[in-house]
Amino acid sequence: MNLPDPQAIANAWMSQMSDPGQWQSWFNMAPTTDANPLAAMMQDVGASVKPEAMEQLKNQYLQDFGDLWQEFLSGKSPDVADRRFTSSAWQGNPMSSFNAASYLLNAKFLNAMVDTVDTSSQQKQKIRFAVQQIIDAMSPANFLATNPEAQQKLIETKGESLTKGLANMLADMNKGHISLSDESAFEVGRNLATTEGTVVYENPLFQLIQYKPATATVHQRPLLMVPPCINKFYILDLQPENSLVRFAVEQGNSVFLISWSNPDQSLAGTTWDDYVDQGVIEAIHVVQDISGQDQMNMLGFCVGGTLVSTALAVLAARGEKPASSLTLLTTFLDFSDTGVLDVFVDEAQVSMREQQLKGGGLMPGRDLASTFSSLRPNDLVWNYVQSNYLKGNEPPPFDLLYWNSDSTNLPGPMFCWYLRNTYLENQLKTGKLKVAGQKVDLSSIEAPAFIYGSREDHIVPWMSAFSSMNILNPGKVKANRFVLGASGHIAGVINSVAKNKRSYWTNDKPLGRAAAKPQDGEAWMAGATENPGSWWPEWAKFLAEHGGKDVKPKAKPGNARYQAIEPAPGRYVKVRAD
């Protein structure tokens, strides 16, 4: 089935902003009627609703709607707990509160209908996701005619809020995305990605940044950081107070980092093998040359972790073991449970992408951004529709959301290989795949691993991140360490020690005779201890354990072979996808 594209929904919303009736006519009817579009979705996947379950739902819906209607006629405001409708403008207006309550009632029964669909679990998940996209889009808070907060501001400002809102909407339509932050407040290299460093190597695929040491001595073995190529590296180096790069430098590490290029047509034929061999492996060899060290601490974040693990397995097959330790942040090695992203991956969708892109082409960054926005549409789409367009507000400056809108393209062949061999077929952990001419055996990576997962991660479920404990160093699980952080995929990782927010969980109990036994995530969590603040100091200790002795840092970046090209953050990170 075709899944709703949230950007397409938003574009259609823009065209219907002044008249929500056409959009909402089907949604506000009883969701158990045949005219509801859920029936079309089910027909699309060859599914059906069990008749007895439908009859039960219909009776319950009629009873609940009757009770709601009686409350409205008696002048009693319905109890609406959803945070979108809790303001006095909603609660103090009987018609608005009734609209909100009836919307939530219909949403409840549409979701209940999904539970009764007789189809496979994967198809049911797809239907549930598609229905939720439409439910979120149809909120009465998203339309001027049914949003009392926007109407109130319209009156208070004598129409100025609507004028500003329309201007904001037209500006975003020209940009091709909804503004999540005041984009004029940030500039990469001025107040983002400002940790001092130098680009010491580049090829068409990446630049290598060497950061200036900040301590009198540094660990002998350097640290190479491999960020995801699906977005910009400066998520690891936003501002000084929340920069993981700066923190690593201040902890006495000689830090190198890959800054991936933002592919254009000249890289449209680039493959996964290229990212591994000409990307990560090339960076490893350059760091070895500059540092004079055969081994280094290595870090991979998200897709960067998958890439660096693949690269280390390829190098192991070639007889090289350059990692003294491996850190994986919210990374898949086992793709058995890919969470909500599973709705985007099946044979039909992967084959379609392969037909479009496998021979060359680009997966546009805006499409990738739209996909990730669809995972949290109320937070990343409709919240800003209401604020920016209906109320005429300017979004406040927020570095993380600025980064979120700074999209990156991906080469088609690389993207298609990644989709099929990992998300669709889960081949990476099998030992059967060949990359850069070598079989990928992740168990051949002998470096001790620090594995991090985020408890509310909707992109890499933490139990999937935990499964790497049993893939790396099999039979030597004591060599690995797992830390679980609070919050999600990004906010959990970027949990600065300066702000000391949230918490994290550790479980360092000795395993005894079970040391060679596969670990179970639920059992690990049952024995874990919650610790306040950032997990970063735990990671710093791990790096120090595997960083070798402390030595005096080199006075200049690079060496005779690899000389300074330009100051960090370099040119590549400043290239925009749009």
**Residues labelled as active-site residues:** 302
CA separation, residue 9 to residues 130, 135, 200, 370, 514 (Å):
11, 11, 44, 11, 52
What burial letters (b/e) apply to 305-319, b meaning 16+ CB within 10 Å?
bbbbbbbbbbbbbee
Under 8 Å between Cβ of 239 and 191: yes
Omega of the bond leading into 569 within 30 degrees of 0 (cis): yes
Q: CB under 8 Å to 316, separation ≥6 — which residues?
A: 441, 444, 445, 446
Measure the CA–CA gap between 473 and 333, rounded to whole angstroms.
13
- Residue 111 burial by Cβ neighbours in a 10 Å radius (0-12, 13-18, 19+): middle
**DSSP bridge partners of 326:** 298, 449
Cα 77 from Cα 66, distance rounded (Å) = 14
Structure tokens at 562: 């690899």
Q: How many CA atoms lie within 13 A of 406 on its CB side?
A: 28
Task: Judge contact between 147 and 390, C-beta under 8 A.
Answer: yes
* Sequence-separated (6 or more) residues with CB below 8 Å from residue 302: 227, 228, 230, 329, 330, 331, 459, 460, 489
C-alpha 290/C-alpha 326 separation (Å) is: 20
